[in-house]
Amino acid sequence: MAGQADEFLQGWQALARDSWDAWLRGLQPPAPAGGAADEPLPHMASLKPYLDWLQGMAAGTTHAAPAWPAQGGPFPHASFPGGPAFAVPPPGADPGAAWLAWWQQALAQPAGAAPVAAFGYTREQQLQQQALAAAMAECRETGARYQALLQRAGSQGVARLQAKLADMAAAGQAVDSLKALYDLWVDAAEDAYAEIALTDEFREAYGAMSNAQMKLRRLQRQLVEQCSRELGVPTRGEVDSLGQRLQQVRRELRTVRGDAGTGALAAVRAELDALARRLDALEGRRDMAVKTASRPVAKRAKAPPAARRAAPPAKRPAPRGRK
């Protein structure tokens, strides 16, 4: 029974593949007459060697890195790890070619090999390259772990389908169409995937893969930014830094504006109002005292220091109400 189910599944999957291929072909825009339909992005052609090299790296085999285009070999010792530290490029030579060649070779070292101690004038570049190589290796390793879990989910999906079919057989139920079988497989595959996706193993693999990809991307960005700075091109890091400062200023500005209505400034206003009321009260008592004495005053009574500062020379305005 299981064999029969497998056979149907394989047949159905082959059919689905053919259908999707046909559909995708149908969705392609018609090729222009005489146009290069096989090169949709001709301007990307210059990147092909780089992409080939990345593809070689991604393949992950120990010595799989494809040969880098000949660079003229300005560094005869480039094959020796750390060689660029001693080598001096001849005038007119491309200084980047040497470290690219060394890099290529360093990256092709067996996985897990300890990095060579960095030293010399290019020490920092060596460290960067080693970090990049390590990040690539980590990406490959974590990606492979994740893929293995997906494959396990796929296998368990098929096993679940077989179990479902067995249950149906026991219950006397039947699957009478390819569509019904496909839907049954989808349910089984999703169930198996959900079970694995909620395991600790999957969580760890997912986190490790994400973190490895971010490490690699960050290193790549650092390299690009380094090149950009040398060329005088503004970098994302600089733009981010400006953005961060601008956002901080905006926050501070809003805080200050907010304070004007409800914060520290309002408290100062309230304090002034309170002082003004006290002053009014004090002056009111003094006027009463003057009237009660009923005698001429030759000299204005001395007001308290605060009142002297706050009191206007003539008519006092009404105390300001609190906002």
Partner 1 sequence: MSSPLRIDPARALQEMAEFQRRLAAGLPRLRGLSEPGYADTPREAVYREDKLTVWHMLGEREPTAKTPTLIVYALVNTVWMTDLQPDRSLVRNLLAQGEDVYLIDWGYPDGADRWLTLDDYLNGYLDRCVDAVRARHGLDAVNLLGICQGGAFSLCYTAMHPEKVRNLVTMVTPVDFRTPDNMLSHWVQDVDADLFVDTLGNVPAALMNWVYLTLKPVRLLQQKYVAMVDILDKPAELENFLRMERWIFDSPDQAGEAFRQFIKDFYQGNKLVKGTLEIGGRPVDLGMVTQPVLNIYAEQDHLVPPDASRALARHVGSTDYTELPFKGGHIGIYVSGRAQREVAPAIHRWLAQR
Token readout for 274 is 């309170």
Shortest gap between Cβ of 228 and partner 1 (angstroms)? Answer: 16
194 binds partner 1 (CB under 8 A): yes
Contact between 98 and 87 (Cβ < 8 Å): yes
168 binds partner 1 (CB under 8 A): yes
Contact between 280 and 319 (Cβ < 8 Å): yes
Residue whose CB is less far from partner 1, 236 or 309:
236
Among candidate residues 208, 214, 59, the one with its CA nearest the CA of residue 145 = 208
Residue whose CB is less far from partner 1, 169 or 289:
169
Shortest gap between Cβ of 158 and partner 1 (angstroms)? Answer: 12
Amino acid at 49: P
**Which of 23, 41, 305, 321 forms a contact with partner 1 (CB under 8 A)?**
23
d(CA 162, CA 4) in angstroms, rounded, equals 10
Residue whose CB is less far from partner 1, 51 or 169:
169
Shortest gap between Cβ of 255 and partner 1 (angstroms)? Answer: 10
Contact between 84 and 128 (Cβ < 8 Å): no
Number of residues that bind partner 1 (CB under 8 A): 57
252 binds partner 1 (CB under 8 A): no
262-to-52, 237, 259 alpha-carbon distances in Å: 63, 37, 5
285 binds partner 1 (CB under 8 A): no
Shortest gap between Cβ of 169 and partner 1 (angstroms)? Answer: 4
Token readout for 298 is 């030759």
Q: Which long-range contacts (CB under 8 A, 24 or more apart) does 67-72 make?
A: 68/100, 68/101, 68/104, 71/97, 71/98, 71/100, 71/101, 72/97
78 binds partner 1 (CB under 8 A): no
Contact between 63 and 69 (Cβ < 8 Å): no
**Which of 183, 201, 238, 287 forms a contact with partner 1 (CB under 8 A)?**
183
136 binds partner 1 (CB under 8 A): no
**Which of 10, 15, 233, 316 forms a contact with partner 1 (CB under 8 A)?**
15
Task: Name 142's Cβ contacts closer than 8 Å, sequence gap at least 6.
Answer: 205, 208, 209, 211, 212, 213
Q: Which residues bind partner 1 (CB under 8 A)?
A: 1, 4-5, 8, 15-16, 19, 22-23, 26-27, 157, 165-166, 168-170, 173-179, 181-183, 186, 189-190, 193-194, 197-198, 202-204, 206-208, 210-211, 214-215, 217-218, 221, 236, 239-240, 243-244, 246-248, 251, 254
